Chains A and B, each alone.
Chain A
Amino acid sequence: MKRWKFRLSGSGGQGLITAGIILGEAAVIEGKEVVQSQSYGPEARGGASKAEVIIDDKKINYPKVVIPEVLLAMSQEAADKYGTEIEDNGLIIIDSSMVNNFKNDKAKIVNIPITKLAKEEIGKTFVANIIAISALVNLTKVVSFDSLKQAVLNRIPKGTEDINLKALEIGWKWAQSN
């Protein structure tokens, strides 16, 4: 397996660190090596926030992502700040309900109205991160759907299983149809 480098960006409170942990834990379930890090401080609430995940079969030493090959941007500010840092032919997933202006010719861009879907299909914007991570996994196949599902169920609060599973399905299907 090649080394995967993910950067999940948006604004504080969108659950991007949780999404990074879930992605990392899904890879751990599959026996892979994982390192996950994040930005801290005032950025953790509002402002641009990011979580980074590196997944590999081999040991990971340097723990930070320099240039990601997969970028998720869930706010205009994050898209502006991180949108140019991407490997050639990388993948950028844009929450089109939050980002109006975005262009990058180097990478493949997939637009999904993530937050809008969360609001309209489920009625809870806090599951937007689950929709996003599900789409991201579908588009990269970095882990299996089953591993992702298990990682989600391990992490979420009791009583929210149904809406989170629904969010997983929505993200998965949207990515498939793109």
Chain B
Amino acid sequence: MTSKKARLIQGNRACAEGAMAAGVRFFAGYPITPSTEIAEIMSEELPKLGGKFIQMEDEIASMACIIGASLTGKKVLTASSGPGISLKQEAIGYACMTEIPCVIVNVQRLGPSTGGPTSSAQGDIMQARWGTHGDHPIIALCPSSVYECFTLTVTAVNFAEKYRTPVYVLMDEIIGHMREKVILPNIDEIKIVNRKRPTCPSNEYKPYQIDETLIPAMADFGTGYKWHVTGLFHDETGFPSGKPKVIEEQFKRLMTKFDKYSDEILSWEETEAEDAEILLVAYGSTARSALDAVNILRSEGIKVGLFRPITIWPFPEKRLKTLAEKANKIIVPEMNYGQLILEVERICKDKASVGGLFKFNSLPITPEEIMFKIREVL
């Protein structure tokens, strides 16, 4: 499937190929722009690999379907956009609560509602964090190139498996639809992670055991463990419990289970950030414009840098805080009305002044617009 050859492919294709390279063998989806190419590619390729593709009757069903498939031990993925991601929220919450590995690709389009199906936007940043009801943990990764659509989908699958959690790949229309030259890694260069499965006898199995790893083993349905999965609060054995102590213990484990692994989960990229007086915080396709702005302004001697969170949730807070101590000003360009800036402000408000550059008219933010904003605050 992948050979070390330069190719000109779309972000959506790179994402689908990344999923298959990571071992995804089950996809359920529903047609929606601008993510449909992923479903189309999966429908063609998965059965050749012995995998399964199904187009469900709606977005809710496709999310539910991949959770069911994951319980049989398969690596699973769904892809959608805008209204589709809104519909999936109920079942995403179920996967958070029951800790079922799955990957949700969101090729962001302009919202709310039907919004702009073929227009790019980054308006689902907070939805990815808090879209479903109740407190819950989530991981969201944000590619800014076609190459990263491949590699971060692999990472997303690995994280889902390792940490027993839903993981978002937060793309945007520009990244999903553009074609870019890439040389993808060979299959043998790709690190694959499989979920931890129980080795104990079935009568000793605790699917929500609290131990030092915080990530319990998960048995495949059909292997004799006969365990119970429920979206109700449950104890270590998986059965419903309304005891406040049990709820609190399990809730705490759920909400803190990524903290222990933040070195692996958190990733970001820095460009000229170390000595930057003005620091851009940009992600996804907008980071590409920010990078142009940094390169041009640096050649003029202006100390501008870029901090690009690759893991958006949880946010790489510590590192940004350190950089904010040196920078006077932080600018957050994003294709929305101001979302990630809320997190950046929370982290940096005592260290640097934080301003935004927001665009929400369906057009991308250009390097010129970012440079104009920087010159304005100089």
Please indicate whether A and B come from the same complex rather than being unrelated chains. Answer: yes
Task: Assess whether B292 is interfacial by the CB under 8 Å rule.
Answer: yes
Q: Are A40 and B181 in contact, CB atoms less than 8 angstroms apart? A: no
- Taking a contact as CB atoms under 8 Å apart, the answer to whether B6 and A36 are in contact is no
CB distance from A170 to the nearest CB of B (A): 25
- B366 near A62: Cβ-Cβ < 8 Å: yes
Q: Is the CB of A63 within 8 A of B181?
A: no
Contacts of A66 in B (CB 8 A): 366, 368
Which residues of chain B come closer than 8 Å to A38, judged between CB atoms?
Answer: 177
A159 at the interface (CB under 8 A from B): no
Within 8 Å by CB of A63, from B6, B34, B117, B174, lies: B174
Main SS at interface, chain B: mixed
Residue of A32, A33, A61 contacting most chain B CB atoms (<10 Å): A61
Closest to B286 in A: A62
Picked from B8, B33, B368, the residue with its CB within 8 Å of the CB of A24 is B8
Given contacts A61-B288, A62-B289, contact A24 B366 (CB under 8 A): no
Query: For the complex, what is the distance from the CA of A64 to the CA of B362, rounded to whole Å?
Result: 13
Counting CB contacts under 8 A, is B364 at the interface? yes
User: Is B285 in the interface zone, CB < 8 Å from A?
Assistant: yes
A34-B179, A37-B178 as given contacts; A63 in contact with B8, CB under 8 Å: no
Q: Which residues of chain B have C-beta atoms less than 8 A from A25's C-beta?
A: 8
In the complex, what's the smallest C-beta–C-beta distance from B172 to chain A, in angstroms?
11
Q: Given the known A-B contacts A61-B288, A62-B292, A63-B174, are A37 and B179 also in contact in the complex, defined by CB atoms under 8 Å?
A: yes
Chain A residues 10 to 43 lying within 8 A of chain B, measured CB to CB, are 21, 24-25, 27-29, 31-41
How many angstroms between the C-alpha atoms of A35 and B117 in the bound complex? 22
Which residues of chain B have C-beta atoms less than 8 A from A34's C-beta?
8, 179-181
- Inter-chain contact A36/B292, CB cutoff 8 Å: no
Q: How far is the CB of A139 from chain B (nearest CB, A)?
A: 22
| B: interface residue count bin | 20 to 34
Interface presence of B367 (CB below 8 A): yes
Contact yes or no, B118 A41, CB < 8 A: yes
Chain B residues, CB < 8 A from A27: 181
Question: Residues of B contacting A62 with CB < 8 Å?
Answer: 288-289, 292, 364, 366-367
User: How would residues 85 to 129 of chain A score, 1 for a CB under 8 Å from any chain B CB and 0 otherwise?
Assistant: 000000000000000000000000000000000000000000000
A24: which B residues are within 8 A, CB to CB?
Answer: 8, 179, 181
Contacting pair B366 A40 (CB below 8 A): no
Task: Select which of B34, B117, B179 is within 8 A of A36 by beta carbon.
Answer: B179
Question: What chain B residues lie within 8 Å of A37 (beta carbons)?
Answer: 174, 177-179
CB pair A61–B292 under 8 Å, yes or no, is yes
Chain B nearest CB from A21 CB (Å) reads 7
Determine if B197 is an interface residue (Cβ-Cβ < 8 Å): no
B291–A21 CB distance below 8 A: no
Considering the chains assembled together, what is the distance between the CA atoms of A33 and B367 in angstroms?
19
* Nearest B residue to A53, CB-CB: B179
Q: Is the interface of A mostly helix, strand, loop or mixed?
A: mixed
Classify chain A's interface size: 20 to 34
Task: Bits for B1-35, please: 1 = Cβ < 8 Å to A, else 0.
Answer: 00000111000000000000000000000000110
Instruction: Among B8, B117, B174, B288, point to the contact of A41 (Cβ < 8 A).
Output: B117
CB B173 to nearest CB in A, in angstroms, measures 8
- Give the CA-CA distance A62 to B178 in the complex, in Å: 11
A31 & B178 in contact (Cβ 8 Å cutoff): no
The listed residue (B33, B181, B285, B292) touching A28 by CB distance below 8 A is: B181
**Chain A min CB distance to B362 (Å):** 11
Q: Shortest distance in angstroms between A43's beta carbon and chain B's nearest beta carbon?
A: 8
CB of B8 within 8 A of CB of A21, answer: yes
Q: Which residues of A contact B178 (CB under 8 A)?
A: 35-37, 63
Besides A35-B179, A39-B118, 13 more A-B contacts (Cβ < 8 Å) are A21-B8, A24-B8, A35-B180, A36-B8, A40-B33, A41-B33, A41-B118, A61-B367, A62-B367, A63-B178, A64-B364, A66-B366, A66-B368
Listed A/B pairs (25) with beta-carbon separation below 8 Å: A24-B181, A27-B181, A28-B8, A28-B181, A34-B180, A35-B180, A36-B179, A37-B174, A37-B178, A37-B179, A38-B177, A39-B118, A40-B33, A40-B34, A40-B118, A40-B177, A41-B118, A61-B292, A61-B367, A62-B288, A62-B366, A63-B285, A64-B174, A64-B364, A66-B368
